[in-house]
Amino acid sequence: MSNVFRGAWGAVLVAGLMAGMSAAAQGANYTLTVEPNYPADQIREVYGPLVGYLNRTTGHRFTVRSAANFNEHWRDLRSGAKHQFVFEEGHFFDYRRKRSGAIGVARTQENSAFVIAVADPEIAAEGLEGIVGRTVASLGAPNLAYVLVFDAFRNPLAQPEVRSVSSKWSDGPDLVFSGDVEGTLLPAYMASENPALTEIWRSREVPGRVFSASPELPQDVRQKVADALLKLHEDPEAYAVMTELRTERLVAVDQIAYDGLERLLVNSFGYVAPAEPAAPAAAPAAAEAPVEASAPAN
């Protein structure tokens, strides 16, 4: 083989190796699905800092996506549509892990809770009963706030009239002040941000929002993303991410803490309760040893 040929062939091998190393260094493409808590044109803006952080710290490339509304998010979940990474409230996560085996990799440190707030002092003076039959703005069903309301107000004759008219939580106060509704559902962390509103109902707390991963993803990829999320609060540029996520830090997920939250979806169209694990089969009774007949005495 001539030196020229060997040199050309060596160059091809080196180029191929360099290309392979470059591809490996660039990582893979992954999608992060988030709840439709914002209009479509704001999703990328809100989650942009998080995507940038994950791209920078994991070596992979992330794209954020969201369903058009909560009904579509719920329909995809029921259908078993495959998702790589998801960020959502606990009732959806519990449903997803029981049907699809989703693995929790991190959660918001803060629990989730919601309030109903009003601006009219006369309604506020009535207390909890003042909201019965009143119109209340909400994001679409079955978001967590919506299902928590109907978990608390189980009597159909003593419920607020929850209307899915908000495209983001901050729309609620505007709808109250414009007179379109009499009250609004808000995440508890937003209650103090609107001093002109009076809180008249607060939901029970449930474990916070969860980042989960498909069990079909490589374990090392899941671990790398988990490590990045759990160290997010240590990053010098974390403030912008934390501000958008509305959390002080992300912590490990105790999946048992979420067990049963999917039952908040019981009144949602298409909900089917998870199959109960089969009881272990009873062990067959041990056969008694035959008793030998004794010979008659003489």
From CA 224, how far away is CA 106, in angstroms rounded? Answer: 12
| pLDDT for res 270 | 95
State how far the Cα of 236 lies from the Cα of 239, in Å rounded to an integer.
Answer: 8
- Report the alpha-carbon distance of residue 238 to residue 250 in Å, rounded: 11
CB 137 within 8 A of CB 183: yes
Instruction: Tell me the average pLDDT across 78-86.
Output: 96
**C-alpha distances in Å from residue 134, one per residue of 118, 173, 177, 249, 277:** 10, 15, 15, 36, 42
Q: What angle do CA 167, 173, 179 make, to 5 degrees?
A: 100
Please state which of the ranges 13-27, 55-69, 229-243 shows the lowest mean pLDDT. 13-27
Instruction: Report the pLDDT averaged over residues 147-162.
Output: 96
Computed over its alpha carbons, how large is the radius of gyration of the chain?
27
Q: How far apart are CA 166 and CA 151, in angstroms?
A: 21
Q: CB of 150 within 8 A of CB of 185?
A: no
Q: Calculate mean pLDDT across residues 170-180.
A: 97
Report DSSP state, residue 262.
G
Q: What is the pTM assigned to this prediction? A: 0.84
Tell me what percent of the residues of the chain surpass a pLDDT of 90: 80
CA 76 to chain centre: 13
